[in-house]
Amino acid sequence: MSFTNFSQIQQAIQSGDTTLSNIVQSYIDNIEQQNEEVNAVVSIDEKGALERAQQIQERIDNGTAGKLAGMVIGIKDLICEKDKQATCASNILSNFESVYDATVVERLRDEDAILLGRLNMDEFAMGSSTENSIYGPTKNPIDTSKVSGGSSGGSAAAVAADFCTASLGSDTGGSIRQPASFCGVVGVKPTYGRVSRHGLVAFASSFDCIGPLAHSVDDAALILETIAGPDPNDNTSSSRTVPDYTEGLKNPDSNIKIGVPEEYFGEGLDEEIRKGIKDKLSELEEAGAELVPIHLPHMKYGIATYYILATAEASSNLARYDGIRYGHRADIKDVEQDLKAEQEALEKQIKQAKGEEKQKLVDELNDMDSSLIRLYKKSRTEGFGPEVKRRIMLGTYVLSAGYYDAYYAKAQKVRRLIKQDFTEAFEEVDVIVSPTAPTTAFDLGANQDNPVQMYLNDIYTISANLAGICGINIPAGTHSDGLPYGMQFMADTFEEGKLFNAAKLVEQLD
Ligand code: GLN
């Protein structure tokens, strides 16, 4: 028994064909059979999920169940669930358990969703392939020699492999949409501020967004509607009321204006993907949509701008992992022993030295890091993986006194220009279309030694994060290599309804 969307589950329960416990069990069975290979789930709460299933079944039977009753959801391992691990796929948090629920988790539970397990990701959400993980890579369930995309690769693969009905991921530069494209599922990056970040481990706070991944546009809309809205615990969350997205989907409007930016269909895009998306656009046009050529001239600076600003924010956010307050701590005895040995060696040298040389060594002794500073350094050295270290170094560099204006301040100005491009475009069109990623899922290991090539995966998704607008990946076809690819719609801030509408039109073409 496999369920590919929530309405199937609801029908099966209502008709009495099955119980919620059976449904949860069928997901657990799928995980048992396939997760060893796919590696999307890093921990599973079998007992808790089955207990919840029974409680919720009672509420379904007596008509008091919430609107997500029957939905089984996986959570990316950087969103806090009380008393569960939240490792961010990092050694530095490998022993960390959350002491509270993220707002999104609370809201899902309040509507009777069942949270089944924690999902793999790139360490601290830095990556595009879910290969930077202490758990090892998440493989693409459609072809396990390929990556699942990232950083929410576990969230996309878990949905594609039917380990859960839907999942939550996070998107800082494309981390929901790109893996959704690689695994053939729907993925939504909401407007910045639409969904509370309370309980989301921070990567780049002015970019980070939590959003849903699901099999259908309806399911994604229902989840977003549940988790969105103001939250006193996150003062960047917007006070705007949340529209009824699912109601809006009942009669999708095909007379929409779709902006087609030339810049997004140029060099570097796989030819088949380009043609596939253009074909879908022609079909939408036949159904009543108007295609409007537009320009987003600053898009070409997106990657560079993002990798300055996001790393700057990351270097500051990740400063909190000092081995004292959170997570992994290096062995203090080792640290003290090393310090003592180095001090003794220096003292010995000092005794034998003379004049200038002696003074130099004395200075060196006085300047030696204390055991506390050494403990911080050793904990961080042991705790962070290479990509995270690279980002911390990049971010620290662009924020350093001598380079701040040249990099950080300048990138902020370019961010504003990118935002301005979108504001002007949305005066003319309802949504903007683009590919989600330049290629289908690549081979495991293919981009591991080439960070810039890896960064280029986000070329089409990153601008939405820079501008704070919303975006969605909707599956658009299967490539001749057998893998799925998606197309992206972007809409202005707080216009998720327009995204869902456009995506639903594509979904209905199938
Ligand atoms: N791939 C991008 C990065 O590595 C985006 C990650 C994300 O959205 N979390 O920064």
**pTM, 2 dp:** 0.97
Ligand 1 nearest atom to the CA of residue 170, by list position = 9
Distance of CA 22 from the midpoint of ligand 1 (Å) = 36
Ligand 1 nearest atom to the CA of residue 457, by list position = 1
- Spatial neighbors of 498 by CB under 8 A, at least 6 apart, are 256, 430, 431, 489, 491, 492
**Which among 212, 141, 149 has a CA at the least distance from the CA of 179?**
149
The answer to whether the CB of 465 is under 6 A from ligand 1 is no
Ligand 1 nearest atom to the CA of residue 125, by list position = 9
Ligand 1 nearest atom to the CA of residue 152, by list position = 9
Ligand 1 nearest atom to the CA of residue 128, by list position = 1
The best mutation among 121, 171, 175 to test binding of ligand 1, ranked by most ligand atoms within 8 Å of the C-beta, falls on: 175
Mean pLDDT of 444-453: 91
Residues with catalytic annotation? 76, 151, 175
Q: Is the pLDDT of residue 173 over 70?
A: yes
Can you name the residues that pair with 489 across neighbouring β-strands?
433, 472
The best mutation among 88, 124, 128, 306 to test binding of ligand 1, ranked by most ligand atoms within 8 Å of the C-beta, falls on: 128
The answer to whether the CB of 172 is under 6 A from ligand 1 is yes
Hey, how many other C-beta atoms are within 10 angstroms of the C-beta on 242? Answer: 17
pLDDT tens-place string over residues 85-141: 999 999 999 999 999 999 999 999 999 999 999 999 999 999 999 999 999 999 999
As a dihedral over the C-alpha atoms of residue 269, residue 221, residue 147, residue 182, rounded to 10 degrees, the angle is -30
> Residue type for 188, please?
V
The answer to whether the CB of 175 is under 6 A from ligand 1 is yes
The answer to whether the CB of 133 is under 6 A from ligand 1 is no
Distance of CA 392 from the midpoint of ligand 1 (Å) = 14
Mean pLDDT of 425-452: 96
pLDDT in the model for residue 476: 98
Ligand 1 nearest atom to the CA of residue 175, by list position = 8
Q: Is the pLDDT of residue 72 over 80?
A: yes
- Percentage of the residues of the chain whose pLDDT score is greater than 90: 96
pLDDT tens-place string over residues 350-398: 999 999 999 999 999 999 999 999 999 999 999 999 999 999 999 999 9
Mean pLDDT of 27-50: 98
pLDDT in the model for residue 1: 61
The best mutation among 79, 131, 133, 151 to test binding of ligand 1, ranked by most ligand atoms within 8 Å of the C-beta, falls on: 151
Distance of CA 246 from the midpoint of ligand 1 (Å) = 29
DSSP one-letter code for 442: P
Nearest CA to ligand 1 atom 10: 126
Distance of CA 443 from the midpoint of ligand 1 (Å) = 18
DSSP one-letter code for 456: G
Would you place residue 510 in the very low, low, confident or very high pLDDT band (cuts 50, 70, 90)? confident
For 463-476, b/e burial (b = at least 16 CB within 10 A) is: bbbbbbbbbbbbbb
Distance of CA 214 from the midpoint of ligand 1 (Å) = 20
For 433-462, b/e burial (b = at least 16 CB within 10 A) is: bbbbbbbbbbebeebbeebeebbbbbbbbb
Distance of CA 200 from the midpoint of ligand 1 (Å) = 15
Six token digits for residue 211: 């959003």
Mean pLDDT of 343-353: 96
Distance of CA 208 from the midpoint of ligand 1 (Å) = 9
Q: Is the pLDDT of residue 3 over 80?
A: no
The answer to whether residues 408 and 415 touch, using CB atoms and an 8 Å cutoff, is no
* DSSP strand pairing (114-119 vs 41-44): antiparallel
The answer to whether the CB of 127 is under 6 A from ligand 1 is yes
pLDDT tens-place string over residues 286-327: 999 999 999 999 999 999 999 999 999 999 999 999 999 888
**Which among 447, 510, 428, 501 has a CA at the least distance from the CA of 476?**
510
Would you place residue 337 in the very low, low, confident or very high pLDDT band (cuts 50, 70, 90)? very high
Q: What is the CA radius of gyration of the chain?
A: 24
Would you place residue 4 in the very low, low, confident or very high pLDDT band (cuts 50, 70, 90)? confident
Report the first-to-last Cα separation within the chain, whole angstroms: 23
Six token digits for residue 379: 């904990």
Q: How far apart are alpha carbons 49 and 115 in whole angstroms?
A: 7
Q: How far apart are alpha carbons 179 and 264 in whole angstroms?
A: 19
pLDDT tens-place string over residues 208-265: 999 999 999 999 999 999 999 999 999 999 999 999 999 999 999 999 999 999 999 9
pLDDT in the model for residue 21: 97
Q: How far apart are alpha carbons 394 and 432 in whole angstroms?
A: 32
pLDDT in the model for residue 264: 96
Would you place residue 270 in the very low, low, confident or very high pLDDT band (cuts 50, 70, 90)? very high
Q: How far apart are alpha carbons 291 and 259 in whole angstroms?
A: 6
In order, the DSSP letters of 211-270 are EEEESSHHHHHHHHHHHBS--TT-TTS--SPPP-HHHHTSS-----EEEEEGGGGSTTS-
Six token digits for residue 423: 């504001």
